[in-house]
Structure 1
């Protein structure tokens, strides 16, 4: 088992708990689908945790399963794989996406879902150096998909924003 396994499992359980609390505030009829999704995610996370714990206590080296090569003998147990995972981490890109996400939420309040989403996706893809053709294809496909699923099929009212609402 690796340290990143512990972090991933904890974050997913915390996410399930957060969405469970929010789902329980909905009307009973609207709770069924979200509860099924939350239960499925929590179940898969528990299965993942069980397999990691099984490997930890069965004596199989965690380095072998993590694909990390370390010289010398390795004892089974908890392995710190975080330096290997975060090698090459680009802090500037990470913090740009975090700040852009917060700005997206604020912008959506003022101009609505579609314009804010367009600005957000263009800004993030530009910062991540996505080629213009791929950017255009992504914007077109996601725009059509979101519009057809949420607006036409599910008839979900998306935020229009203060300026257009």
Structure 2
């Protein structure tokens, strides 16, 4: 399998995300930096392993564009509606808080993508419960409450 040029962009974005998170992590108190530093280092390491794997593929099998595969079946309407929903989610989170806006965002997005109701309900319940248990209960992270609450 040939290395795809589009993978180079993925690696660049992941390194940029690591750099951004590292910069944001330096703004935290020293005692709060341990877990984020570990997570950033893990992400950086996995991205580097992916880069090494890409280089081996390029050397062994060659390089191809990959853009035709990446954008096969691309639906412009679906992309822009989902982008608008994400922006709306961020605005909604500012006013209604994390949990209410997350449930609303997931329901509207999954309905737009025509996900059957049983899978929609299971997804919304499980993601909300997982976020609550992982962040609020286990890690003790204060989630955004919103201006209205």
TM-score higher than 0.5 here?
yes
Superimposed CA distance per residue, residues 134-165 of structure 1 (whole angstroms, 9 cap, x where no aligned partner): 1111112222222222223333221111111x
Larger radius of gyration: 1
SS in 2 for 1:48: helix
Superimposed CA distance per residue, residues 76-97 of structure 1 (whole angstroms, 9 cap, x where no aligned partner): 3x21111122110112222222
Match status 1:53 vs 2:55: yes
Q: Matches of 1:35 and 1:155 in 2, distance apart?
A: 18
The Cα shift of 1:10 comes to 0.7
SS in 2 for 1:149: helix
Matching of residues 78-93 of structure 1 within 5 Å? 78-93=63-78
Match status 1:151 vs 2:136: yes
Aligned to 1:13: 15
Over the aligned positions, Cα root-mean-square deviation in angstroms equals 1.4
Change (3 A) 1:150 1:51: closer
Aligned to 1:128: 113
Structure 2 stretches of 5 or more lacking a match?
A: none
Q: Matches of 1:153 and 1:45 in 2, distance apart?
A: 27
Q: Matches of 2:135 and 2:86 in 1, distance apart?
A: 21
Superimposed CA distance per residue, residues 96-129 of structure 1 (whole angstroms, 9 cap, x where no aligned partner): 2221111111111111111111110011101111
Q: Matches of 1:32 and 1:154 in 2, distance apart?
A: 13
Superimposed CA distance per residue, residues 26-48 of structure 1 (whole angstroms, 9 cap, x where no aligned partner): 11111111111111111111111
Q: Matches of 1:81 and 1:111 in 2, distance apart?
A: 41
Q: TM-score, normalised by structure 1?
A: 0.83
